[in-house]
Structure 1
Amino acid sequence: MKRLLLPLIPFLCLSCNPSDKEYKDYSKEVIITGKVLNSDFYPQEKDLTLIVPFFRDQETKYVVPIAEDGSFSFRFSPYAKLRNVQISKYADHLFVSPGDSLHVEIDFKNILNPKISGDAEKRNQEINTFAQSGRYYIEDYLIRRDLEPEAFETELQQEYQLRQERRQEFLDTYKPDEEIRQYTDKLLKIDYYRILIDYLSTRSWQNKDISRYNEQEIFAKADSLFEGEIIPSNIFKLTETISSFITCQIYKVKKEKTTFDDFVAYPTGKNIKQYLYAASISRSLVSNDTTLFSSRQKQLDSIVHIPVLSQVLHSAYQNKKDFLKNPRTVSNYMLYGNYSDMPGLKVDMDFMKPVYEIMDKYKGKVIYLDFWTTACSPCLGEMEPLKKLRKEFSPEDVVMVSICAGGPRKTWEDLVKRLDLQQPGIDCLYQTDFADDKSLIKILNRLELKGYPHYLLLNREGIIVDYGTVVRPSDPRTKQKINSLL
C-alpha cells in the first residue's frame, strides 16, 4: 500500500536532546491586579479563580476573594517565556511572560469584554484579536473520523491551508512581534497534529489499517512543538491525544492495561517523552498519591527538563505532601468555601447540605465516602474490597457511605442486591436520594471529583484528610490510614 508522505508543513530542525538544552529561569512572578465593577449585579460571586493550563483536570488554580471595593490580585510564576492563562468565566485569554504586571477590569454588567492594561496590554490585544474573533483562528477541525485516508488527508490539508492563510492575514494586518508570530505558528501546528493523531487513534481502536502512516516520522515532525519556552495550552491536549494513541498501540500488542513504564519506553521524540512522563506523574498526584513521584524522582529529573513541566510537578508534589500533613485548610475550603475560617456559616453553599447532613448524622466517627456509577467497571471492582474493609472496623468507629452518582435507579437497586452492599455500617444512597441534579453537580465539583470511583476520608473532627482514587478500598494503605484516625 502506498505510504503517506507527511504533511507539507515547514518545520524547524528536530530539537536537540533536552538534557543538552539550558532552559532559562522563568520563575519571575507575574502580577495580575484588577477590579470588579458592578459587583452587585452578581452578588453571589465572592471570589475569582485564575487557571494556569496543564493536563486535563490538573490545571493549577488560584482562588482569591473579591475585596469590598471590588479589587483583587494574583501572583504566580509562569515557568515559560509566553503562555496563556484565564480568569475563569471572565477573561478567557490572558497572555503573560515572566515579570509582567497586568491590570484587568471586569464589569459584571459586561462580562464578555474585560479591559486589560499594563506591561502586556498591546500583546494581549493582538493575541485576543487573533484567538477570539473567529476570523483569524479556528481551533476545531470538523472532519469526520470515519473518512477513508485519502479523503481525510485532502480535507485536512485544505483546512490547514485555510488556517495558515488567515494567520498570514493577521500578521500582515497587525505586524506583531516575533514571540506572537512563534506562538500563533505553534498553535496552528499543534492543532494539525491533534486531528491527525486523533484520526489514527480512532482508526486503530476500530482495528482499521493505518500502515500507510509512518508513526515514527509523525512523532519526529511533531517533537519540536513540545520543546520549550512558548507554551500554548493546546500542547497539553496534544499530549493526551498521543497518550490515547500509544495506549491503543500497546494494548493491541500486550492485551492489557498500559503501565507507566510502557509510556516511558515507547519510542517517541525526546520532548514528547517529557510531556508523556509528566502527564503520568501528574495524574497520580491529582489522586493524592505521592508514591509514584517520590519513587521516580531521580528518573523524573533526568527526563523532564522543560520548566513548565518540572517546576509544576515539584510544586504539586510539595502541595500534596503539605495537604496530607495538614489537611484542614484544603478541607475547609472544599467543604465551606468562602467561610473556610468559619465552618458554622454555610449560607452561601446550600448545595452542600447533603454532605453536611451526613457529617452531622455521623459526627464523631470516621466517615468514608464512596462515589461511583453503575457503568463504571473499576467502581464495581472495588465493592468486594469495600465490604472486606468494612469488616475491619466497628460501625461505632467508622461509617461508610456508598453514593451512586450515575446510572438508572433499577440498575443500582439490582447491583446493591447482587453485590450484597446493604450491610451494617454501609449506607447505600442513590443520587436522587442524596441530592437534586444541580446540587449533585456542584457537590462533585466542590469535592474535586475528576472521575469514578472517587473516595473521601474524613476524620472524627469532620476534616477531609484524603480524597481521590488513592484511598480506594483495595489499597492496603487505606486500612492503615483509617487505623491512624481511630
Structure 2
Amino acid sequence: MKLISTVLKILFPITILLACVVAIFLSRSLRLQNTDQIKFISQSEKLSSIKEIVNLPPFKNKVIVVDIWSVTCSPCLQQLKTATSFKKRLSTNDVVFLYISYNNKFRVDRQLKWKETIENNKLTGYHLEADADLYTNIWSEINKEKDAGQGIPRYLIVDKNGTIINFNASGLSKPDDFYQEILQVLNNTGSLSMK
C-alpha cells in the first residue's frame, strides 16, 4: 500500500505537468485559419510600433479602426458582441478594422480564448496578438498625456496616410458617436461611401 501511495505522489505532479505542456502546445498549434473575412497578422514580422503596424500593405490607402482589447477584459468582450452589427452600418471598402489584443502569456488557454472570441463574435478584419514589448510600445505611442493609462477597450482611428487622427475614439459603447468619428475621417480623406 505504501508503494502505491509513493508512486501516486510521484506520478500526480508529473501528470499535471504533462497536461500543462500539452495544453500550451495545443494553444499554440490550434490556430483559427485566415479566411477572406478574418486575417491574422503574424508576429514573426517582429513589429515594434503602432506606426509599423498601420503601414503594413493591407492597410495602404485605408482608414483603419483600431480596437485594443484582451480576453480578460469584460467591457471589451461586451463591446465585441456589437461589432458585427456596427460594421453593417459601413458600406465602404475604404475602412478596415484592426484588433490588437494582449493576452497574458502565463495563461495556458490564452490563444484558444482569443481565437474563440474572434470566431464567436465574427470579428471580421485583421487581428494581431501583441507581445509584451509591442504592447508597451503601442501605449507609449498613443498616450499623449503621461497619466492617460492603459484602459481597454481603446479605439483609434487612423487616416489613409497612416496618421492616427483620433487617439481615443468613442468606440462601440457609443456607436453613433463612433460612426460620426469614422465618417469625419473618411470625409477628410475624400472618401465618402457610407450608409
TM-score strictly above 0.5 = yes
- The AA in structure 1 aligned to 2:171 is R
2:103 is aligned with 1:406? yes
Query: What are the Cα deviations for residues 127-155 of structure 1, in whole angstroms up to 9, with x where unaligned?
Result: xxxxxxxxxxxxxxxxxxxxxxxxxxxxx
Q: Which structure 1 residue ranges, 4+ long, deviate > 4 Å from structure 2?
A: none
Sort the Cα spacing of 1:359 and 1:427 in 2 relative to 1 into closer, same or farther, 3 A: same
Residue 359 of structure 1 corresponds to 55
Long gaps (5+) in structure 2: 1-46, 105-109, 144-148, 187-195
Sort the Cα spacing of 1:376 and 1:447 in 2 relative to 1 into closer, same or farther, 3 A: same
* Matched position secondary structure for 1:382: helix
- Shift in Å at residue 360 of structure 1? 3.6
Residue 134 of structure 2 corresponds to 439
In 1, Cα distance between equivalents of 2:56 and 2:133: 22
Kept in 2: contact 1:386–1:474 (CA 8 A): no
Matches of residues 12-411 of structure 1 in structure 2 within 5 Å? 351-352=48-49, 355-361=51-57, 362-394=59-91, 396-407=93-104, 408-411=110-113
Residue 180 of structure 2 corresponds to 480
2:114 is aligned with 1:415? no
Residue 155 of structure 2 corresponds to 455
Kept in 2: contact 1:390–1:400 (CA 8 A): no
- The AA in structure 2 aligned to 1:463 is T
* Matched position secondary structure for 2:81: helix
Kept in 1: contact 2:165–2:185 (CA 8 A): no
* Matched position secondary structure for 1:393: coil
- The AA in structure 2 aligned to 1:359 is N
In 1, Cα distance between equivalents of 2:120 and 2:48: 32
In 2, Cα distance between equivalents of 1:440 and 1:372: 11
Q: CA RMSD in A?
A: 2.1
In 2, Cα distance between equivalents of 1:458 and 1:439: 18
Q: TM-score, normalised by structure 2?
A: 0.58
Identity of matched residues, %: 25
In 1, Cα distance between equivalents of 2:134 and 2:97: 21
Residue 116 of structure 1 corresponds to none
In 2, Cα distance between equivalents of 1:415 and 1:357: 22
Residue 166 of structure 1 corresponds to none
Query: What are the Cα deviations for residues 55-97 of structure 1, in whole angstroms up to 9, with x where unaligned?
Result: xxxxxxxxxxxxxxxxxxxxxxxxxxxxxxxxxxxxxxxxxxx
Residue 128 of structure 2 corresponds to 429
- Shift in Å at residue 395 of structure 1? 5.1
Kept in 2: contact 1:371–1:454 (CA 8 A): yes
In 2, Cα distance between equivalents of 1:390 and 1:446: 27
In 2, Cα distance between equivalents of 1:440 and 1:363: 22
Long gaps (5+) in structure 1: 1-349
Higher Cα radius of gyration: 1
Kept in 2: contact 1:379–1:453 (CA 8 A): yes
In 2, Cα distance between equivalents of 1:356 and 1:384: 28
Sort the Cα spacing of 1:394 and 1:355 in 2 relative to 1 into closer, same or farther, 3 A: farther
- Shift in Å at residue 478 of structure 1? 0.8
In 1, Cα distance between equivalents of 2:138 and 2:185: 25
Query: What are the Cα deviations for residues 162-195 of structure 1, in whole angstroms up to 9, with x where unaligned?
Result: xxxxxxxxxxxxxxxxxxxxxxxxxxxxxxxxxx
- Shift in Å at residue 481 of structure 1? 1.3
In 2, Cα distance between equivalents of 1:480 and 1:437: 32
Residue 4 of structure 2 corresponds to none
Kept in 2: contact 1:458–1:465 (CA 8 A): yes
* Matched position secondary structure for 1:451: coil
Kept in 2: contact 1:458–1:466 (CA 8 A): yes
In 1, Cα distance between equivalents of 2:121 and 2:181: 25
Query: What are the Cα deviations for residues 380-426 of structure 1, in whole angstroms up to 9, with x where unaligned?
Result: 111133222222224521000011112411111221122222x2xx1
In 2, Cα distance between equivalents of 1:359 and 1:438: 19
Q: TM-score, normalised by structure 1?
A: 0.25
- The AA in structure 2 aligned to 1:454 is R
In 1, Cα distance between equivalents of 2:150 and 2:96: 24
